[in-house]
Chain A
Amino acid sequence: MLSSEGKDESFFISVKKGGKARDFIMRKVCASDMKHNLAEMKSHVLEEISKVSTSEELDSVRVRYLGRKGEISVLLKHIGSLAPEERPEFGAAVNALREQVADAISRRKDELDKLALEEILHRDTIDISLPGEVYEIGGLHPLTKAMREVASVFSSLGFAAYESREAETDEMNFVKLNIAPGHPARDMQETFYLSDNTLMRTHTSPGQIRGMLSLKGKLPVRFIVPGRVYRRDPTDASHHPVFHQVEGLAVDIDVTFKELRGVLSAFMKRFFGQEVSTRLRPSYFPFTEPSCEVDISCMFCKGKGCSVCGGSGYLEVAGAGMVHPRVLVNGGYDPGKVTGFAFGFGLDRLAMLKYGIDDIRLLYGNDRRFLSQFRGL
């Protein structure tokens, strides 16, 4: 939009009048006047460009001045009417004007594009405070979470998972583990029987025998047996007739009690935290010799003694030992050539200690409000 024509009117009028105006310029304008006029034209055009508010208008301004028949282009066509000595100067001045105008148009175009984009962006703004589309995720059971951690630690120590049977023979559950009929150790096992000689396994230890037999004497033997076990204990805060254990077994030509200590201590640190220390206390299991209870320093009181650890500063979490030679024989290995260690622990107890769950029934009740607390990593 050309708004102020004021003192430049004559110039513009002359320009706009086509042929006559050209005559006027040719005749009346000397070089210095002409320079003056170009300067005025420049300020006028630049102002016009700065006032343009749409890219369409800007385009028409461009055509009007810089187009093939635009007013600045037209000026050059009449350069011949000037004195020869004035021509180069005039030509240079017009070209400079041309460049300045083109530059101004281009800058203005960028400005306008930017403004237009800003306008669009503003128009398309959304209320980011509103809730998003939620894809409800489910969750793993805390026992599965604990089991995965256990499996991953043991996997890094070379132990693969082997799943054994839950219903077992008396032979596998007891006899092959050096627990003969009438053995006092059977007092420790409250067993659900299916028939005279079949039962629900009372521990994952028969998995030791089945695992060894499946490897047919190959070395090394190194696996864990996770799974459900069954005891005839009425349900209360710390007992459930069905619960979970993890058994571990390593057999090779040079497996020692010392390595067992290393494996258990590494596991406890990885599972419960670096500050947890492990101690082995002599104990008795028919299928290991020497045998031990595995205690860890109580993570609730840092070993000072509290109600969870009964004031002792230690928590009993597992049983372990060197595989009894008779058990090795029952698994098809020669105790004269190989040694082995085995360990077993209650997964439920481990999970309860890790997550601070005080009642085992919560694990089997599957209340959504309980389960959903374990959804995270």
Chain B
Amino acid sequence: MIRIELPVSEKDVRKLKVGDEISLHGTIVTARDAAHKLMVEEWPKFVEPLLKNGAIYHCGPVMKKTGKSWKAVAAGPTTSIREEPYEAAVMDHYKVRFIIGKGGMGPKTLKACKDVGAVYLHAIGGAAPLLADTVVRTKAVHLLDELGVPEAFWEFEVDGFKGIVTMDSHGKSLHSALLRKSKKKRDAIIGI
């Protein structure tokens, strides 16, 4: 298990390889479909300090409000590939080092990992309370009224958020490797 403190330098991220198990410590920011669309359309300034050398988490959490503070009740990853059209531009613009989600992403994002110096971290899909319990504090929420709970930008301070690097800055992707392998299998099983 490799321990990473956020924000993190480009140099440190470039050392990571596909297959590395990571534990994250510091601030991660949730952003999913509506947030990504908004970022590439308006390039909001408020996210700049949040994402510089930081992490985007593809997650629409279940949150509970007690008094003035919000607590993450369940916060597992959502499917990342939906952000494929936007992510490369977002990574480049804001200099994001970690994209966290599930299911992996496509060639544009893989190229951005290489160009920008970033990795894709695969969290365990569905492991919502487990991952929520690594959120020690909800630091802030942005555009909650406009986007709703699942789509808002949640700033989470995490301690020991776990995941596996499945795309690295050296052009390697576990997802495309498995796709090739399983395609051969599929063709053999189907008989085409």
Partners in one complex: no
Instruction: Give B contacts to A, CB under 8 Å.
Output: none
Instruction: Give A contacts to B, CB under 8 Å.
Output: none
